Structure 1
Amino acid sequence: MALEKEINRSTAKSSKPKSAAREWLDSIVFAVVAATLIRWLFFEAFTIPTPSMENSLLVGDFLFVSKLHYGTRTPKTPLQVPLTHQTIWGTSIPSYLDWIQLPQYRLPGFSDVKRGDVVVFNYPPELQHPVDLRTNYIKRCVGLPGDQLEVRDMQVFANGQALENPVRMENEYFVSTTTAVNEEKVFRENGVSEFSGYTETYNDTIPSNDESGYLVYTTEAIAARLKEYDFVKDVRTVKATKEISEPSLYPNSPLFRWNRDNYGPVTIPAEGKTVQLTPENVAMYGEVIKRYENNENVVIEGNKVTIDGKAVEQYTFKQDYYFMMGDNRHNSADSRYWGFVPKDHIVGKAVFVWMSIDPNPTSALNKIRWNRLFRIIE
C-alpha cells in the first residue's frame, strides 16, 4: 500500500504541467537543433550579394544549396554558435572558437562535381578562418581535377574542347551613343543591372577610339537589342588582346603573361597526380602545396620548395582541385584571380531560386521578381 502511494505521488509530480516559459524554451531548443541538422545534412539557404554570376543569378536571389549532391562534410569547427557562420548575427563578434579542429570527412553523395555545375564553396585564400567557416562563394565549375584549362579570346577550353557557354552569360560591352540617354529606361528596362555613367571618352578602355557612351555588363541578346536604338551608334565587346598582361591574375608571376580573356593553359591539380617542381610549377602550385595540402613547415624560396626541412623536386597532390568562374566574365573575382578550389572547400550544389528581391526596383510593386521564384539553376 505504501509502495502504491509512492508511485501515485511520483506520477502526480511527473504529470505536472510545464510553465509557458518552459514550453517556449523546449520549442526553441527543438527548432534550433532541427534547423542545425537540416542545414548541415541536407540543404542550406543562401542569398546572392554580388553580380559575379549575372545574368544566371541576380543580386537579391535567394537559393537553396544541396549538401547531398556532393556529400555532406563533417564539421571541422565544433565550438560554434548554432545557425551562424563567422560572426554572431548583427555583430562583429566571432561566433566560433578554433581551439578544437576536427579531421574533416565527406559523406557519400549523389554525384561528383561536374563541368557546368553552379557550386557554393568556401573562399580558399581566406586563411584567417577555418576551412568550414571561410566566406561562401558561388561560381560555375569550368575545370575538373586533371583538366588542362585555357581561355582563348574569351572562350573557355577544357582539354582542347570549347565548353558550352552558360545561356545567360554576361560580357562587357561598350555602347557608343550620340548623346546621354535615360539610363533607367534604356538599360534597366532592358534588364541591364550594371552600367557606367555617361562619359565623353573611353580611350583607356576601348583602344584607338575616342567615343562617347557607356560600359555595360549584359548578355549577347540584350546587347543586340540595345543596338536597335536610333541614338546608339555601335555596341562592341570589350576584350583584351593576347599581348596584354594582367599582373593581378593567379599565380601573380612574371613567368605567366596572361589576362582575363586569354588565360593559361593550366593543368588543374588532381589527387595522386605528381608534378615536377620546375620554376613554372613552383609558381603555379607552390601556394597550393603550402596552404591546402596539410603539409607541415612548407618553405618556398625562389624556385625551391622544402617540406619539414627536406627539399623536394616533385610533389604528389593529396586531394582534387577545381577551377571556378563567374558567368559575369568581366566582373567576377574567380579562379583566374586567386587560384584553384580544393575539394575540402566544396559546400554544395546550387539547385533552385526560391525567392528573388530586386535591390533597385522601379516601383514597390516590382520589388519581388515573381518570374524568378522556384527557378531551377542551370
Structure 2
Amino acid sequence: MNLQALLGNFALILFILTLATGVVWFLDVFYLSKQRRARADAALAEYDARNARLAADGVPQDTNGRSAIAARLLRQPTWVEYSGSFFPVILLVFVLRSFLFEPFKIPSSSMVPTLQIGDLILVNKFTYGIRLPVVNKKIIEINQPQRGDVMVFKYPKDTSLDYIKRVVGVAGDKVVYRNKKLSINGKDVEYKQLPDYLDEESLTYSKQFEENLNGVAHKILNDQRAPSYVPNPDAFPRKELCTYNSEGFACTVPAGHYFMMGDNRDNSLDSRYWGFVPDEYIVGKAFFVWMNLGNLKRIGSFR
C-alpha cells in the first residue's frame, strides 16, 4: 500500500492508533506502573531508614522530601501519559465508526437533488451486516441492500475511495435504461414529472422527476442536452453481462453484486461506466444529513 492510499484509509490509521495506544495502556496498567511502584517503595524505605538514623542521632528530619520522592518516581512518562489519555477516546471513536455509524462528506453533484455538495451525512454500518474493520469482511449477516437504498461503497477501480450512489439493481436483476427511463426485470419504473430543477451555481435547469424504485420515491434529474447512450464505458469485470446501444444499456446483475446509479443521472459516473459493486465493497447505508454549513435546512433524513 502506497502512502497516498494509506493516508486515504482512515479506518486503517484509526486501527493502528487504537492498537498502539492500547498496547501502551495495557503495558502501563499491568507492568510499568508496578515497576514504578516498586522503585518508589524501595526509595521511600531507604528514605525512612535514613530519617530514622538521623532521628536517633538527634539530627532534625526532612519532612517534605518523602512526598516529592513519591511523586517523582510514580509519575508516568509523557509518552505513557498521553497514550493512556487518548486510548479510551480513540477506542470509542474506532468502535462507533467501525460498527455503528460513520460520517461522510458529499464531494460531488452526482446525487443531486437527494444529496447536495457539502452535505455531511451519517452511514449505518451494521444494517447490511457486521463487518470486520479495515479488511471489511462480513462476519454477521443482517440485511441485504434493496433497490432504492442510498449506499456507500468502495470504488471498484480504487478501493481507497468511497463512493455513494443509489442501488437500482440487485443480484439477478435485469436493469434496462433506455431513453433515460429505467425498467427492472421487464417492468417499467414509475415516474412523475416535477418542476424543472435550477442549479443555482451554473444557473441551468434540468428536468426533474419523482422516481419510484421498489416503493422508494425519490427525485432524479435528467439533462436534456446529454445523450441517452453511455459514452466510453470501461472494460469492467463481467461486462459481457451488459449490452450498450444508442438508446442506453441493459445489464444483468451477477450474484453477489449490485448495480448503482446516481440520482443526477446525466452527471454521474456509476455502474454504467465502471461496472458492478461486489458485496465485499459495501460500507453501509446512508440515511441522514447531520450538517451542511452552507444550508442548515438540509439537516434531517433524506428519505
TM-score, normalisation: structure 1 = 0.51
Alignment match of 1:195 (pick from 179, 194, 202): 202
Q: State the alpha-carbon separation in 2 of the partners of residues 40 and 346 from structure 1.
A: 13
Superposition map of 1:219-234 within 5 A? 219-220=208-209
Partner of 1:161: 187
1:258 has 2:245 as partner: yes
1:376 has 2:298 as partner: no
Question: Which structure carries more helix by proportion?
Answer: 2
Confirm or deny: 8 A CA contact 1:68 1:109 kept in the other structure: no
Residues 194 and 323 from structure 1, CA distance in 2 versus in 1: closer, same or farther, beyond 3 angstroms?
A: farther
Percent of aligned pairs sharing the same letter = 33
Q: State the alpha-carbon separation in 1 of the partners of residues 201 and 265 from structure 2.
A: 13
Confirm or deny: 8 A CA contact 1:247 1:257 kept in the other structure: no
1:56 has 2:104 as partner: no
1:145 has 2:171 as partner: yes
Residues 113 and 150 from structure 1, CA distance in 2 versus in 1: closer, same or farther, beyond 3 angstroms?
A: same
Superposition map of 1:212-251 within 5 A? 215-217=204-206, 219-220=208-209, 237-238=224-225, 240=227, 246-251=230-235
1:29 has 2:16 as partner: no
The two structures, once aligned, show a CA RMSD in angstroms of 3.6
Question: Which structure carries more strand by proportion?
Answer: 2
Partner of 2:27: none
Confirm or deny: 8 A CA contact 2:287 2:302 kept in the other structure: yes
Please list every run of 5 or more consecutive structure 1 residues that lacks an aligned counterpart in the other structure. Answer: 1-5, 78-103, 174-189, 197-214, 222-235, 271-319, 359-368
Q: Secondary structure at the match of 1:115?
A: coil
Partner of 1:105: 137
Partner of 1:117: 149
**Residue by residue, what CA displacement relative to the aligned partner does 1:241-288 show, whole Å, maximum 9, x if unpaired?**
6xxx544125589994435xx333221101xxxxxxxxxxxxxxxxxx
Residues 76 and 346 from structure 1, CA distance in 2 versus in 1: closer, same or farther, beyond 3 angstroms?
A: same
1:162 to partner: Cα distance? 2.3
Alignment match of 1:339 (pick from 269, 275, 281): 275
Letter of the 1:120 counterpart = V
Q: Secondary structure at the match of 1:38?
A: helix
Letter of the 1:156 counterpart = L
Q: State the alpha-carbon separation in 2 of the partners of residues 167 and 76 from structure 1.
A: 43
Residues 218 and 257 from structure 1, CA distance in 2 versus in 1: closer, same or farther, beyond 3 angstroms?
A: closer
Residues 352 and 240 from structure 1, CA distance in 2 versus in 1: closer, same or farther, beyond 3 angstroms?
A: same
**Residue by residue, what CA displacement relative to the aligned partner does 1:71-95 show, whole Å, maximum 9, x if unpaired?**
1322455xxxxxxxxxxxxxxxxxx
**Residue by residue, what CA displacement relative to the aligned partner does 1:39-63 show, whole Å, maximum 9, x if unpaired?**
1111111000000000100000001
Q: Secondary structure at the match of 2:138?
A: coil
Q: Secondary structure at the match of 1:330?
A: helix
TM-score, normalisation: structure 2 = 0.63
**Residue by residue, what CA displacement relative to the aligned partner does 1:151-196 show, whole Å, maximum 9, x if unpaired?**
122111110122356999x9xx8xxxxxxxxxxxxxxxx8524537
Q: State the alpha-carbon separation in 2 of the partners of residues 107 and 167 from structure 1.
A: 43
**How many residues are paired up?**
224
Residues 111 and 61 from structure 1, CA distance in 2 versus in 1: closer, same or farther, beyond 3 angstroms?
A: same
Q: Secondary structure at the match of 1:195?
A: coil
Q: Secondary structure at the match of 2:87?
A: helix
Partner of 2:98: 40
Q: State the alpha-carbon separation in 1 of the partners of residues 231 and 106 from structure 2.
A: 28
Letter of the 2:121 counterpart = L
**Residue by residue, what CA displacement relative to the aligned partner does 1:300-341 show, whole Å, maximum 9, x if unpaired?**
xxxxxxxxxxxxxxxxxxxx0100000001100000111100
Partner of 1:290: none
Letter of the 1:325 counterpart = M
Please list every run of 5 or more consecutive structure 2 residues that lacks an aligned counterpart in the other structure. Answer: 1-37, 45-66, 211-222
Residues 144 and 333 from structure 1, CA distance in 2 versus in 1: closer, same or farther, beyond 3 angstroms?
A: same
Q: Which has the higher contact order (CA 8 A, sep 6+)?
A: 1
Letter of the 1:114 counterpart = Q
